[in-house]
Structure 1
Amino acid sequence: MKLYKIKTGVVIETDHGFHLLEGENWDTFVNDDNLFGKLAAIVRAVEPIENGQQLLNSRLEAPIQSQELWASGVTYIRSKIGRQEESKNSGGGEFYARVYEAERPELFFKATSHRVVGSGGKVRIRQDSNWNVPEPELTLMITSSGKIVGYTIGNDMSSRSIEGENPLYLPQAKTYDGCAALGPCIYVTEEPLPADTIIHLEIARNNAPVFTGSVDIKQMKRTPEGLVSYLYRECSFPHGSLLMTGAGIIPPSDFSLQSGDEIRITIQPIGMLVNTVK
């Protein structure tokens, strides 16, 4: 089942249609260890609506409210190589090699909701960075108890020139207004996503593709559960949290985003996250 956040409540999508719940508070609604069971019961009790897709087209929001958005780094070999490339002149490449092999993962705070846009929104590139890329990532919806109850698509916008200059600049390279996109929904399932799940990225410029890439999540060095266990060791999340699990697709070093580029990230069965660069 797919769960959407809209301006006035939530929408549940199944194979049989859309079910609207007006007035629901997102924080309370999603922070439920039995979210799948809750949605299943609602679908049985609430009649589907006729204008579900039109409702999403006009009212869809990013699936985040009071939750913190965190991110993971260097969880794919391609990310390790990319980080070493960008930081070779600063001498920081060894740090990325070490964290890839270490027991403790790289986790960092990414954003709160006011810096996140939904599908159809505009992401930003920093004006003081000349090398900027999207990072397409499977993103976990986690309850306050630490249970993974769903999945969404995340775009971890990154200023590679800033992080490459010095690894200590990572917070500036990663966190700024319009630095992330989430959506279009939370895919709620009782089972983990299959290991052969594909993340696909396409970047279009002037209606023509300028970069495409794909990776399957079995190439991730760490497990989602392992990442969550470290995130929740000494942090509490009263409303739950969202955690990006790392990027396995990195555009080449001669590529940088430009204003007007369209970024399309697809993960089935979640859907497609589409954003334009402001």
Structure 2
Amino acid sequence: MRIIRFFNKQNIPALAAVTEDQQVYPLPYTDFLDLVRTADRQGAVPLALVQNEMASSQPLEKSYQELDLLVPIEAPEVWACGVTYERSRDARNYESSGVKTDEITFYDKVYVAERPEIFFKSTAARTVGPNQPVFLRSDSNWQIPEPELGLVIDQTGRILGYTVGNDMSSRDIEGENPLYLPQAKIWKHSCSIGPAIRLAETVENPYQFEIICRIYRGGQKVFEGSATTGQLKRKFDELVSFLIRDNQIFDGTVLLTGTCIVPPNEFTLLDGDRIEIEIPGIGTLTNPVKAQIPTAQKVS
């Protein structure tokens, strides 16, 4: 069972459930957290409340792909994990050296260390949803999407659901100096999530998710790659435990769990590209790519 947010006929954000056969049932909750908190008060799981509502209502005439979708949750914060897959470690090593090397680097060390790499990624104002543009940094010449499974958690670290995430990354900025990581990761519209949240209680094994990334340019597919969460070096509970350790997080926080799909080293995103990140069972997150005007050129 998946939960989506969309603009209804009155142009008001609304919540709905999407079944396995793609039927969309409206829900009487203001947002995803309202659904979760109502379930908690009743000592139930969100799925039970959703099923009760579905039993007494009719599905919408439109499929969820035809709706004006919003971010499934306005996450107060988005955090992200790095070097959680072997492919990500190799890519980071190439960024920093420009060559494939056998020398042990700090990326190698964090890959095997007890403590994972976790960094701040985005806020609700910087995060976009389905079909909204992700932006390119104006001071970077080597940028890629990073397709990831996102964990939707509450302030205790409880995993409430799973979503699709795009952790946009400037490879040249991080490669120049690892201390530039915040600038390589955080800027306006540098993060997208959606199109839905898969309820945690409906996922038997979260390490069996397939992740597929496709990039289109001028209507032609220029890249496709796939991976599975089974290739992840660390467990989700482990990543969450380090995020909440001595840290205050908020209900509805999203933790992106790292990428295993990296385009070829000679590839960079361009204005007008389209990114599709699909996780079967959750949905396909689609975002056009848009160049920003450099700040120095903007007219106030």
For residues 192-213 of structure 1, the C-alpha deviation after alignment (integer angstroms, 9 at most, x for no partner) is 4453321111111111111111
> Structure 2 matches for 1:254-269, cutoff 5 A?
254-269=266-281
Match of 1:124 among 135, 144, 162: 135
Match of 1:208 among 213, 216, 220: 220
Question: What's the CA shift for 1:6?
Answer: 2.2
Q: Distance in 2 between matches of 1:193 and 1:178?
A: 31
Corresponding position of 1:236: 248
Distance change (3 Å), C-alpha of 1:93 and 1:251? farther
Corresponding position of 2:294: none
SS in 2 for 1:238: coil
Q: Which has the larger radius of gyration?
A: 2
Corresponding position of 2:287: 275
Instruction: State the one-letter code of the partner of 1:154.
Output: G
Instruction: State the one-letter code of the partner of 2:135.
Output: R
Q: Distance in 2 between matches of 1:112 and 1:195?
A: 27
Instruction: State the one-letter code of the partner of 1:81.
Output: D
Task: Verify the 8 A CA contact 2:159 2:200 in the aligned structure 1.
Answer: no
Match of 1:110 among 110, 114, 121: 121
RMSD: 2.2
Question: What's the CA shift for 1:35?
Answer: 2.6
Task: Verify the 8 A CA contact 1:84 1:93 in the aligned structure 2.
Answer: no
SS in 1 for 2:241: helix
Q: Distance in 1 between matches of 2:187 and 2:180?
A: 12
Instruction: State the one-letter code of the partner of 1:176.
Output: W
Distance change (3 Å), C-alpha of 1:6 and 1:235? farther
Deviates more, 1:71-80 or 1:188-197: 188-197
Matched, 1:64 2:73: yes
Task: Verify the 8 A CA contact 1:26 1:65 in the aligned structure 2.
Answer: no
Task: Verify the 8 A CA contact 1:5 1:63 in the aligned structure 2.
Answer: yes
Question: What's the CA shift for 1:269?
Answer: 0.8
Task: Verify the 8 A CA contact 2:4 2:15 in the aligned structure 1.
Answer: yes
Q: Distance in 1 between matches of 2:35 and 2:249?
A: 15
Q: Distance in 2 between matches of 1:39 and 1:112?
A: 28
Corresponding position of 1:78: 87
Question: What's the CA shift for 1:88?
Answer: 1.5
Task: Verify the 8 A CA contact 1:36 1:149 in the aligned structure 2.
Answer: no
Q: Distance in 2 between matches of 1:30 and 1:215?
A: 30
Q: Distance in 1 between matches of 2:165 and 2:121?
A: 11
Match of 1:99 among 107, 110, 118: 110
Q: Which runs of 4+ in 1 moved over 6 A?
A: none
Corresponding position of 1:20: 26
SS in 1 for 2:187: coil
For residues 28-52 of structure 1, the C-alpha deviation after alignment (integer angstroms, 9 at most, x for no partner) is 33456633333233323x4023334
Task: Verify the 8 A CA contact 1:60 1:118 in the aligned structure 2.
Answer: yes
Matched, 1:225 2:237: yes
Unaligned runs of 5+ in 1: none
Per the normalisation by structure 1, the TM-score is 0.92
Corresponding position of 2:61: 51
> Structure 2 matches for 1:144-155, cutoff 5 A?
144-155=155-166
Quote the sequence identity (%).
41
